[in-house]
């Protein structure tokens, strides 16, 4: 099934600026986005807090993710991280439309070495 992308002239894109921590995983160089003051989230941590729920097929394969709090910064940071990982390995993004909707401004903590 082909994906359709809305042409830029159809509707102006309203971008939201986010202030997120950005660091690179030392093991594989993957970009990780974090909410300042919080550790990086995982599928499990977001699911445990009721922010997302993963859907599986009869073979146990993860097929879909239901996002209950689309405007939660932890969810957005996790989605951006997952899309960055997909890009790094040459796959299409898991979460569509994020790069069009958000502009990330790196958070730099004060008073750290």
Domain layout of the chain by residue ranges? 16-106
In terms of phi and psi (left: phi > 0; alpha: psi -120 to 50; beta: otherwise), the region of 16 is beta
Give the span between the Cα atoms of 77 and 32, in whole angstroms: 8
Contacts of 92 (CB under 8 A, 6+ apart): 86
At 23-46, the pLDDT tens digits run 776 677 778 888 888 888 999 999
Residue whose token pair is 């986005």? 33
pLDDT at 88: 86
Confidence (pTM): 0.70
């Amino acid at each position: 099934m082909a994906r359709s992308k809305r042409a830029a002239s159809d509707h102006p894109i309203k971008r939201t600026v986010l202030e997120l921590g950005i660091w690179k995983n030392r093991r594989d160089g993957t970009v990780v986005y974090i909410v300042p003051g919080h550790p990086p989230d995982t599928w499990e941590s977001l699911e445990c807090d009721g922010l997302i729920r993963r859907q599986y097929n009869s073979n146990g394969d993860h097929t879909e993710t239901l996002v209950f709090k689309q405007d939660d910064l932890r969810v957005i940071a996790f989605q951006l991280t997952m899309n960055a990982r997909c890009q790094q390995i040459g796959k299409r993004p898991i979460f569509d439309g994020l790069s069009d909707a958000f502009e990330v401004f790196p958070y730099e903590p004060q008073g750290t070495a």
